[in-house]
A and B are shown apart, each in its own frame.
Chain A
Amino acid sequence: MMSLWEYANPVKFLRLSSKVMPWAWGVGVSCLVIGLVWGFFFTPDDYRMGSTVKIIYLHVPSALMAINAWFMMLVASLIWLIRRHHVSALAAKAAAPVGIAMTLIALITGAIWGQPMWGTWWVWDPRLTSFLILFLFYLGYLALWAGIGNPDTAADLTSILCIVGSVFAVLSRYAVNFWSQGLHQGASLSLDKEENVADVFYQPLLFSIAGFVLLFFALVLLGTRSEIQLRRARALSLRGHTK
């Protein structure tokens, strides 16, 4: 039986990812286009939010991915710390720019939505504040990778930063449940059907979420491949210098 750990081998990872990536790109872009076109052009206005409800198709999936990208980085970092598989450390590194972009989209679309609905672009609400701190953690994470010359040391220190930052990723997700104060409403999507948005918004939202998830997956696969290739090039370069 194939073990998951076999894909910690860079050659096997590159082989498998080259087969999976075109599908992830194709299905991801298709889902994103279907979800956004459906949501933007073919759904009605909400009786309270008016046409700003259309921002949900961007804000909810990007916020979801901003938090889950960090959790993916956490799992990859733990694998690096425990089992020392380079592919996992490089996958965490590759996920960070995608996570930053998702966090930025969530923050910007949230502010644009908040201005007409709450009467303010920003408020120091628990969820918004923890999200901003998560964004700063993403920046710090990438700065740490860029600032340390030895890749293994960089992987060690960024993994520790990732574990610390996970507190804010959890807070970003559950802040509205921990504190009753704050402007941000509860989750738009939940396994509890009564808490979900109406079906007319829910269905295109699911496509949009699938699109963001698969786009994240495709970008992280491609990014990890690039990091593996750069690492290999660096190793060859060092070997050339020591000959």
Chain B
Amino acid sequence: MMPELGKYALSVLSAYGATALILSALVIYVLRRSAVAKAALAAQESSEDG
């Protein structure tokens, strides 16, 4: 299944690996910030209600 990458295998695989790493870090960062924002707003709204 793996295509024959020849002498450039390391270059191609490291480009895909680096991209996967950066995109994963970005998605995790955005999702975590979203969770923090939701929690902060919920905490403030509950203290307003209380």
Hey, which bits of chain A sit against chain B, CB under 8 A?
36, 40-41, 45, 50-52, 54-55, 58-59, 62, 97-98, 101, 104-105, 108-109, 112-113, 115-116, 215, 219, 222-223, 225-227, 229-230, 232-233, 236-237, 240
Contacts and interface: CB of A to CB of B under 8 A. Distances in A.
A236 B48 contact: yes
Contacts of A229: 37-38, 40-41
Main secondary structure of the interface of A (DSSP, over half): helix
Given A55-B11, A105-B22, A41 B29 contact: no
Contacts of B48: 236, 240
Contacts of B29: 97
Interface of B: 1, 3-9, 11-12, 14-16, 18-19, 22-23, 25-27, 29-31, 33-34, 36-38, 40-41, 43-45, 47-48
24 contacts: A50-B8, A51-B4, A51-B5, A51-B6, A55-B11, A58-B15, A58-B19, A101-B22, A105-B18, A109-B18, A112-B11, A113-B11, A222-B30, A223-B34, A225-B37, A226-B30, A226-B34, A226-B36, A226-B37, A230-B36, A230-B37, A230-B41, A232-B41, A236-B47
Contact of B23 (A105, A116, A233, A240): A105
Contacts, number: 105
A98 B12 contact: no
Contacts of B8: 50-52, 116
Q: Which 10 A-B pairs have the closest CB atoms?
A: A226-B37, A229-B37, A236-B44, A233-B40, A101-B26, A51-B5, A233-B41, A229-B41, A112-B15, A233-B44
